[in-house]
Amino acid sequence: MKNILIVDDEKAIRNTLKEVLVFENYSVDSAESGFAGLDLLDQKKYDLVFCDIKMPKMDGIEFLEFIQKKHPEIPVIMISGHGNIDTAVESLKKGAYDYIQKPLDLNRILVSVRNAFDKDEILKENKVLRKKIKSKGNDKIIGESDAILKIKKMIDKVAETDARVLITGANGAGKELVAKQLHEKSNRNKAPFIEVNCAAIPSELIESELFGHEKGSFTSAHKQKPGQFEKANGGTLFLDEIGDMSASAQAKVLRALQENKIIRVGGEKQLNVDVRVIAATNKNLQKEIENGNFREDLFHRLNVIPIHVPSLNERKEDIPILANYFLDLICKEQGISKKKIDSSAMDKLKKINWTGNIRELRNIIERLIILCDDEITSKDIANYSNNKLG
């Protein structure tokens, strides 16, 4: 529900506006002065503000200027019974979303409110899209080693199918990048890519997270909630660290994969889902099966196409390509001119025992960029790489 604040010294205007907006299912608060309005803005998040221009002590233009400084994201609709063209132009120049004269036309009010919220949604969508575009280049699999070329070929072969893929490899090796590439190159790439880190969700909540829940199904289930299977419908669901999933959740995932149907926690109705499942783990699932920690039937359902991502120690010939890639990427992100790594420094990077894999290499390159001069030397590597040189 959207929250709206009305700031007007006339009680009749406040009450009339509130009555109309509440009828339209908005949550509405009101304040009789600019100062009272600013107090409310400090206490609660509002999606829209109505503000009268002519008010004692603090007029509407002053109030608008305060909002623009502290809450520039909130659209403000100015209202006035003493307005003229100059007042309207001034308020719009200072950042108001709209200007409406009294006596208030209620249809005009509602149209302005809806337009303000539509614009806000568009701005949010644009922000998300810009973020996606900015991060899209970061999803590439970097490297030319035989192992990486083999993975890239496998992705090209498998991506356009709906075959399930099980990605194995150490933490930080790049399993998530493989999953994202499988999605991006698939026919599902316009639908959602939903990631669930099974190790990060408590066992008692994993079923609700995956399958959703009905209102009242447990103590904190105050409303119905769709699960990640539903959210990924038509797209790809990436189950990261699936080796850490509880036995109960494993059974339900198996049923969902067999039937392409799910049931929310506390529900009875079966919901059809069209989801491609990609799983990843840093564990040896065969050993987990032997130890009774993982279902063998689920393993075989997931392991249609196995892809193993090698550790960085297994593909050290890719270190120069990766180091230069991160150098370029991080310098752009930090807004600084690109730095260089001299040949002796690159040799030192190849001798490090990379227990943290690609993630660790990226972190060290970022540290070197921040702490070193224009050219990174072997001495810098020795000083800033946690003394892990061989």
- Of 193, 213, 214, the C-alpha closest to 205 is 213
Sign for the pseudo-dihedral over CA of 365, 369, 372, 374: positive
The H or E element spanning position 375 is strand 375-376
Q: Which two tokens stand for residue 102?
A: 């009294």
Q: Which two tokens stand for residue 332?
A: 């752009």
The structure tokens 């305060």 sit at: 66
87 or 50: whose pLDDT is higher? 50
* 144 and 104 co-located in one domain: no
Q: Among 52-61, 117-126, 183-192, 263-272, name the one with the lowest average pLDDT.
A: 117-126
* 90 and 175 co-located in one domain: no
Q: Which domain holds residue 334?
A: 313-384
* 149 and 296 co-located in one domain: yes
Identify whether 135 is part of a domain.
no
**What one-letter code names the amino acid at 112?**
S
pLDDT, residue 133, reads 47
* 9 and 60 co-located in one domain: yes
* 163 and 297 co-located in one domain: yes
The structure tokens 């623009």 sit at: 68
Domain boundary among 274, 308, 342: 308
* 172 and 49 co-located in one domain: no
pLDDT tens by residue, 31-49: 999 999 999 998 899 999 9
Decide the pairing of beta strands 236-240 and 193-197: parallel
Helices in 24-59 by DSSP H: which ranges?
34-43
Q: At what angle do helices 34-43 and 60-70 cross, to 10 degrees?
A: 20
Identify whether 390 is part of a domain.
no
What is the C-alpha separation between 324 and 225, in angstroms, rounded?
A: 44
* 19 and 98 co-located in one domain: yes
Is the pLDDT confidence value at 361 over 90?
Answer: yes
- Cis amide bond preceding 226, omega within 30: no
Domain boundary among 241, 274, 308: 308
Across the chain, the runs of DSSP E, i.e. the strands, are 3-7, 27-31, 48-52, 76-80, 98-101, 165-168, 193-197, 212-213, 225-226, 236-240, 261-263, 270-272, 276-281, 305-308, 340-341, 375-376
- Of 273, 83, 38, 311, the C-alpha closest to 162 is 273
Q: Which two tokens stand for residue 267?
A: 């529900």
Give the count of domains, the chain. Answer: 3
Q: How many CA atoms lie within 13 A of 20 on its CB side?
A: 15
Domain boundary among 279, 308, 337: 308
What is the C-alpha separation between 239 and 261, in angstroms, rounded?
A: 17
Report the chain's terminal Cα–Cα distance, integer Å: 59
pLDDT, residue 390, reads 45
Q: At what angle do helices 106-136 and 11-23 cross, to 10 degrees?
A: 60
Which residues have a Cβ under 8 Å from the Cβ of 199 and sit 6 or more positions away? 240, 241, 244
Is the pLDDT confidence value at 102 over 90?
Answer: no
Q: Looking at residues 81-91, what average pLDDT do you find?
A: 76
pLDDT, residue 125, reads 66
* 78 and 211 co-located in one domain: no
Identify whether 389 is part of a domain.
no
Q: What is the largest CA-CA distance in the chain?
A: 81
pLDDT tens by residue, 223-239: 888 999 999 999 999 99
pLDDT tens by residue, 291-327: 999 999 999 999 999 999 999 999 999 999 999 999 9
pTM of the predicted model over 0.75: no
* 156 and 99 co-located in one domain: no
* 83 and 205 co-located in one domain: no
Q: Looking at residues 195-199, what average pLDDT do you find?
A: 93
CATH number of the structural domain spanning residue 116: 3.40.50.2300
Is the pLDDT confidence value at 98 over 70?
Answer: yes
Q: Among 62-71, 132-141, 244-253, name the one with the lowest average pLDDT.
A: 132-141
